[in-house]
Structure 1
Amino acid sequence: MKNKFKVNFVVNVNWFLKSILVAILLAIFIYIGNKQLHLGIDNTMTGYIGLIAALPTAYLWIVRERKKEAEIEYRERELLNKYEEMYQNKVIELTKFYLESVNLFFSDETSKAGAYALNGLIIDWINLSRLYSDHLEECTAKISQTASVLFSKPQSMDSKIVTELLLNLLRYNKNSSRGIAWYESKFENITIGLYANESHPGHHIFRNVFNNQYIEGIKFENSAFSELEMMKIHANYSQFIKCDFRATNLQDSILVEANFNNSMMVGTNLSFCIASDATFDNVDLTNADFSHSNLIGASFKNSNLTGVDFSGAVIKKTDFTGACLKNAKFEGASIENSYFNDSDITGIDLKGDELDGSQIYNLRFYGTEPTDDIKEKILNGKLQDIFKLYKSKQNFETETLPF
């Protein structure tokens, strides 16, 4: 390879002799022109020798520079080959270690040791992806593969491994153009929110790591995210069952078909979210903020929605069956074909005609189920007048409405 490379850049004798001939002819032409036209150029031997030597010298300089460039390119190729060879050797090493760790992980006697080994292997792949960024896609696939093995047997991981694993994956996911495949991921009893316990474990580390994360399909259960910044997450089809989101900021997030059933979400910021077909059943959402969110097809069955801000939200085919909507705010909300059956709407700011076209069976306010006559008046926009009368009268059922 090296000998062939040198031959390609030896001086071509024919071109060299041609350059000398051209230089001599040029010198003769200048000499004759100077003599006949009286140009005033000094006819010295040194000048003409320099003129004759200039063109061959330029040719030799070009050949030398091209040879230098080719040598540099050759060395770069050698370094690149060496770089690739080092990467492949590291892959072989990590693959071997992966097989050994998997065998440890699925053995009852050594499963915990295998879990630590696999977790360390994920860190090795993350570091390798930083050194060899052109192999980022392959490294990401290996990270997802290794993580899926760990998630297949979560009982073998203690809380320290799980928390460290989640943090490493989230950090890698944020800094990588290739996202982690989360659909096989399930985390239980993760305590990283402010209210996790008195010592707030992990809260400072996780404070902002969820922002702008793509975590579609991830599963959390009995986990705490209270007061974390989780803005602009993409969590379509994800599950957050029995989780603590008190005062968590989820603004501008995409939560299509996400499941938050049986969670604690008091004071949670869910404004400007796309939460179509999301499920918030049996959730305490007291004073939460859903303003300007897309809630088409979302479900809030049997949830506490006291004081929730739905202003400007899109509420279409949304299910509030059995929900407590006391003092909820709906100003500017678009309500269409939704379900308010068995719900308590005491103190909401609607006129009432917005509920026309929605189901309002067994509707309640101020502890009373309105008659069909009163329901008709509600749908005619008299809800706030009815509320005033309910507050002022002790026994509204015997009163005659002044409409």
Structure 2
Amino acid sequence: MKKIKAWFKKLLKMFCANIKKLFVVNEQISIKILWTWICISLSLSILFYCLTNFKILNMETSLTAFIALTGALPTVYLWIVRERKKEKDQEIALSSLKKKDIELYQNKISELNKVYVDAITQFYNSESFMAGAYALNALVDDWLALAKEHPDDSEEHLIRVSQISSILFSKRTEMQHNIQFNHLIEKLFIKIAKTTAKYTLFKFNWLGYSFEKLHFGGADFNGADLSYAELNGADLRDAELNYAILIAADLSSVDLAGAKLNHADLSFSALTRANLRDAELNHAIISNSSFSNADLSISSLREMKIDIEGHLNSLIGDYDYNFSMTNCDLTNADLTNTDLTYADLRGATFSDTIISYNQLFEIKQITLNQIKGLLIYDDESKDNESITETIIEKLQPVIQDGESPISKTFLKALLKIKKH
């Protein structure tokens, strides 16, 4: 009995192993498996015939039904084999295409490296300088295109973009009177600035290159990282610089009329003598920045921010200031909710300049002439109100005219003159 059970188990294992093979289908037809399915189909047909013939199954049958049942399983097997063959062919074609793409990609890199060598040779030859410059600029476009097409290798391609751009920018000081080259540098600058906004891993070092007096009017620099860029005297009228990073940038004498710098980081930047007329700097970070002698008339300077903890880094005169607005024009400017506690406002021109009521009492120093040019923004009525005698009396401790405080009698006299 034990021998029979062992033999039966062995037979069952062999049967299961062979059954598994029947369901392992690849792209090639197996005659053995095909005949097995034919035999199984034939056996099922015979079984079905016997069951119906002996009235065990009470249903009508026909020769067509038996033929269909006999051919069903082999037909399904052949269909699966055909589909697997299609999939295999597609995999082979795709693999071949990938290999071809890799080959083309490697050839493209080799070609760009060869062009780079030729372009450098031309660039440092005075007779073919501009030809080399245009070739290098075109290479920047090619490497940027590769970075977009092959994002996995984008970091390596962006390094090449940085290297080639540095070579072109380094020649600008020497060739600053070459109009064609300046025009090329302007386009390249915009291109690289946009790349810093597009790729977080791309950080171009602008330090050491001069972009003085170049033209970028209306350019889109939103979100760009332009830290340490030397843009003194440049034309940035109506430029978009929202959320741009301009830490320690040299923006002195820059024309930023109508420009948008909302939420921009201007920490440690120099905007001395800059034209910011009708510009927007709402929510901009201005820690340790200088607006001395700048034109900020008709500009929107709402809720500009400073680094309170780091305000001791900037010392001007006998007072501790975080940012400078000395001698700047703030006519019709809107300074609502901007923290002026650590602002150096000496010599600044106020004329219909809007500030919040609480801001007025945060200012360390202010002169009488400056006070009479202020308008107080009322949060409740949303209107701008003139300075009152009560406000001036409250400001007595901080009001200065040169080195001496101003008397209350003189303040009252000024108010009477202002009313008339």
Aligned to 2:276: 265
Percent of aligned pairs with the same residue? Answer: 24
Aligned to 1:315: 340
Q: 2:109 aligns with which of 76, 79, 91?
A: 91
> Relative to structure 1, is the Cα distance of residues 316 and 31 closer, same or farther in structure 2, using a 3 angstrom cutoff?
farther
Q: 2:120 aligns with which of 95, 102, 115?
A: 102
Matched, 1:304 2:323: no
Assess if the C-alpha contact under 8 Å between 2:222 and 2:244 holds in 1: yes
Instruction: Give the Cα–Cα distance (whole angstroms) in 1 for the partners of residues 368 and 327 of structure 2.
Output: 8
Q: 2:215 aligns with which of 191, 208, 217?
A: 191
Aligned to 2:28: 10
Matches within 5 A, 1:355-394: 360=398, 363-364=400-401, 369=402, 371-372=404-405, 374=407, 387-392=411-416
Matches within 5 A, 1:217-256: 217-256=228-267
Matched, 1:181 2:192: no
Aligned to 2:18: none
> Relative to structure 1, is the Cα distance of residues 308 and 93 closer, same or farther in structure 2, using a 3 angstrom cutoff?
same
After alignment, is 259-268 or 164-173 more displaced?
A: 164-173
Instruction: Give the Cα–Cα distance (whole angstroms) in 2 for the partners of residues 78 and 334 of structure 1.
Output: 70
Query: What residue ranges of structure 1 are gaps of 5+ in the alignment?
Result: 1-6, 194-206, 378-384, 395-403
**Superposition deviation, residue 55 in structure 1:** 0.8
Assess if the C-alpha contact under 8 Å between 2:190 and 2:219 holds in 1: no
Instruction: Give the Cα–Cα distance (whole angstroms) in 2 for the partners of residues 271 and 132 of structure 1.
Output: 38
Equivalent residue letter for 2:183: K
Aligned to 1:61: 79
The secondary structure found in structure 2 opposite 1:329 is strand
Matched, 1:331 2:349: no
Matched, 1:166 2:189: yes
Query: What residue ranges of structure 2 are gaps of 5+ in the alignment?
Result: 1-24, 308-321, 377-390
Matches within 5 A, 1:145-164: 145-154=163-172, 155-156=174-175, 158-164=181-187
Aligned to 1:23: 41
**Superposition deviation, residue 142 in structure 1:** 1.9
**Superposition deviation, residue 43 in structure 1:** 4.3
After alignment, is 105-114 or 333-342 more displaced?
A: 333-342
Assess if the C-alpha contact under 8 Å between 2:268 and 2:286 holds in 1: yes
Assess if the C-alpha contact under 8 Å between 2:235 and 2:254 holds in 1: yes
Matched, 1:42 2:53: no
Q: What TM-score does the superposition give when structure 2 sets the normalisation length?
A: 0.72
> Relative to structure 1, is the Cα distance of residues 210 and 355 closer, same or farther in structure 2, using a 3 angstrom cutoff?
farther
Instruction: Give the Cα–Cα distance (whole angstroms) in 1 for the partners of residues 358 and 163 of structure 2.
Output: 44
**Superposition deviation, residue 245 in structure 1:** 1.0
> Relative to structure 1, is the Cα distance of residues 103 and 335 closer, same or farther in structure 2, using a 3 angstrom cutoff?
farther
Equivalent residue letter for 1:241: S
Matched, 1:279 2:303: no
The secondary structure found in structure 1 opposite 2:119 is helix
Q: Which runs of 4+ in 1 moved over 6 A?
A: 353-357
Equivalent residue letter for 1:285: L
The secondary structure found in structure 1 opposite 2:334 is coil
Q: What TM-score does the superposition give when structure 1 sets the normalisation length?
A: 0.75
**Superposition deviation, residue 69 in structure 1:** 1.0
Matched, 1:346 2:364: no
After alignment, is 174-183 or 123-132 more displaced?
A: 174-183
1:287-319 CA distance string (max 9 Å, x none):
322112214433323433333321112334333
1:63-119 CA distance string (max 9 Å, x none):
211121121122112112211221221111112222332344345565444323222
1:29-50 CA distance string (max 9 Å, x none):
3223323324223142x43232
After alignment, is 87-96 or 179-188 more displaced?
A: 179-188
Instruction: Give the Cα–Cα distance (whole angstroms) in 2 for the partners of residues 114 and 355 of structure 1.
Output: 64
Instruction: Give the Cα–Cα distance (whole angstroms) in 1 for the partners of residues 333 and 306 of structure 2.
Output: 13
Equivalent residue letter for 1:150: L
Aligned to 1:202: none
Equivalent residue letter for 2:141: I
Q: CA RMSD in A?
A: 3.5
Instruction: Give the Cα–Cα distance (whole angstroms) in 2 for the partners of residues 292 and 71 of structure 1.
Output: 64
Instruction: Give the Cα–Cα distance (whole angstroms) in 1 for the partners of residues 410 and 135 of structure 2.
Output: 67
**The structure with more radius of gyration:** 2
1:306-348 CA distance string (max 9 Å, x none):
3332111233433334433454322155578765378962323
